[in-house]
């Protein structure tokens, strides 16, 4: 029976006893890699305006029609609730939200 190599045979062991020369040390920056602008964009999401690449038509809820199109609506959230969806998968979503949005011309149910 042939002997198969182990995973350890493909990697050189790391030794902590190797002497380090002072000329090869590069300073490392302590931190998580995020810039201050990255952190502020998450903490203050409204400071960065969303600029869509396509043109969206401004319509009222009552003017919406079925089918794919780029529409922008403005309304008031009059109700929202959570819908539980149990799952056997531990990493699956456990539910979703439903919003009822209203303007002067009608109402719209939005599932998130």
| Predicted pLDDT at 110 | 92
Low-confidence ranges of the chain (pLDDT < 70): 1-2, 7-31, 47-48
| Predicted pLDDT at 10 | 66
Residues 89, 96 contacting (CB under 8 angstroms) = no
Please tell me the distance from the alpha carbon of residue 105 to that of residue 19, in angstroms, as a whole number.
Answer: 76
| Predicted pLDDT at 91 | 81
Indicate the pTM of the whole model. Answer: 0.51
Helix/strand/coil for 90: coil
| Predicted pLDDT at 16 | 58
Please tell me the distance from the alpha carbon of residue 66 to that of residue 46, in angstroms, as a whole number.
Answer: 30
Backbone angles phi, psi at 95, to 5 degrees: 165, -175
| Predicted pLDDT at 23 | 56
| Predicted pLDDT at 58 | 94
């Amino acid at each position: 029976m042939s002997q198969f190599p182990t995973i350890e045979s493909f990697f050189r062991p790391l030794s902590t006893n190797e002497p380090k020369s002072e000329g090869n040390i590069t300073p490392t920056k302590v931190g998580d890699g995020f810039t201050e602008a990255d952190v502020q964009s998450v903490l203050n999401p409204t400071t960065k305006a969303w600029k869509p690449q396509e043109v969206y038509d401004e319509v009222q809820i009552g003017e919406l029609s079925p089918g794919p199109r780029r529409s922008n609506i403005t309304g008031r959230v009059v109700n929202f609730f959570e819908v539980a969806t149990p799952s056997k998968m531990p990493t699956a979503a456990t539910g979703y939200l439903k919003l009822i949005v209203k303007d002067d011309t009608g109402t719209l149910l939005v599932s998130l």
